[in-house]
Chain A
């Protein structure tokens, strides 16, 4: 999904970072809900969820960073200015790279925001 085709440009890589964001979001919400529903007095479930959410966040950020780096490369590391609007294969690839890079930035910020509560919330009300 993260790999831009060697020759034929495809839309799939564009969806990589937002997909990671969506999966991370669903996993974090699900894990926190289950941990709170099954909360035990010693809080081990919740503690596991906090560390788990932390780990998921790191993994998601790493995937987005990789996708972002690949996109940056495809775009040409900023050597060419947008809007890449010509009907050529080069411009199409640069446009996709640039758009993917922007989406990677947005997805990274969102993943951080979604994971952040695990850092602060120390307990669930059962």
Chain B
């Protein structure tokens, strides 16, 4: 008795909570159902057409099964059975499949990088390389190329045209709120075009298993108004804010410069992410950690504990004071 009341209450509570969970699960910075870009809107539209259409057909088939199995007790005539098979078994499915095929094909130039006008007249051109387990980002500006990592700044309302590749294994570039997926394949250059329609910070992920830390290979896309975008990109193009001092000396002495570039300093390594403006990024290590002093210290001490299989050595042998200095220096690189 008591347990059944308990169960009922549980069921009622679940019924109240479930839609809320569903609803919050569908919004936010990483949801294809909360589109903030033209291509993502098309994907979301396709999703709803398929879901609702599928639900209607499912209900109709179930209703027919209930009718045939429970309500109507006598067999139908042979002529009726024949018409049922011809219409519901052949004609209608063929028409629905043909309509879906035409609709899907019609959407493709919208979704895929074939949209020529966007390719010809982009608001931003860039090149993204997926590497285990982070994103190398290059803005191709009229004034020249600017290197960055793990964050892409895009202008709202202007097509963004990215070329995609990888030096190691296949990755996939997916920012659900902005566009569909596109793979990054070694030895190939793929393209993706998308247009953000709402300012905001969106989260993207690697959508093709690429190793131990695949699930920790995310990125941030910040969509801002074009004037703001021009300002941010100009800031990104400048050399580092700090080009001397104890932090930089340690950075060079401890070998970080072999893998990392800080423009305006002798550090010119290209194995890892460009750190020229790492302090201005909202997150650290491909959107895995918040970008604060504690997280930076933890990351430097044990990068492999943060991201298994990471291609950066641990620096836990450095005295805490040096780790602190390095982490503070990185934070100052705005």
A residues sitting closer than 8 Å to B (CB atoms) are 105, 109, 112-113, 116-117, 119-123, 125
Contact = CB atoms under 8 A, between A and B. Distances in A.
A123 B105 contact: no
Contact of A113 (B97, B113, B190): B97
A116 B113 CA distance: 20
A117 B90 CA distance: 22
Interface in B84-136: 90, 94, 97-98, 101-102, 105-106, 108-109, 112-114, 116
A120 B114 contact: no
A106 to B, nearest CB: 9
11 contacts: A105-B90, A109-B94, A112-B98, A113-B97, A116-B101, A116-B105, A117-B105, A120-B106, A122-B114, A123-B114, A125-B113
Interface string B178-201: 000000000000110000000000
A123 B190 contact: no
Given A116-B105, A117-B105, A125 B191 contact: yes
B109 to A, nearest CB: 7
A102 to B, nearest CB: 9
A123 B98 CA distance: 22
Contacts of A109: 94, 98
Nearest to B119: A123
Contacts of A121: 105, 108-109, 114
Contacts of A123: 114, 116
Indicate the size class of the contact surface on chain B.
Answer: 10 to 19
A117 B102 CA distance: 8
Nearest to A113: B101
B111 to A, nearest CB: 12
A119 B101 CA distance: 12
Contacts of B98: 109, 112-113
B112 A125 contact: yes
B125 to A, nearest CB: 16
A113 B191 CA distance: 27
Given A109-B94, A113-B97, A113-B98, A125 B105 contact: no
Contacts of A125: 112-114, 190-191
A123 B118 CA distance: 14
A103 B108 CA distance: 30
A109 B190 CA distance: 33
A125 B190 CA distance: 7
A114 to B, nearest CB: 10
A79 to B, nearest CB: 16
Contacts of A116: 101-102, 105
Nearest to B94: A109
Given A116-B102, A123-B114, A125-B114, 18 more contacts: A105-B90, A109-B94, A112-B98, A113-B101, A116-B101, A116-B105, A117-B105, A120-B106, A120-B108, A120-B109, A121-B105, A121-B108, A121-B109, A121-B114, A123-B116, A125-B112, A125-B190, A125-B191
Contacts of B109: 120-122
A82 to B, nearest CB: 9
A121 B109 CA distance: 7
B100 to A, nearest CB: 10
Contacts of B102: 116, 120
Interface in B215-245: none
Contacts of A119: 105
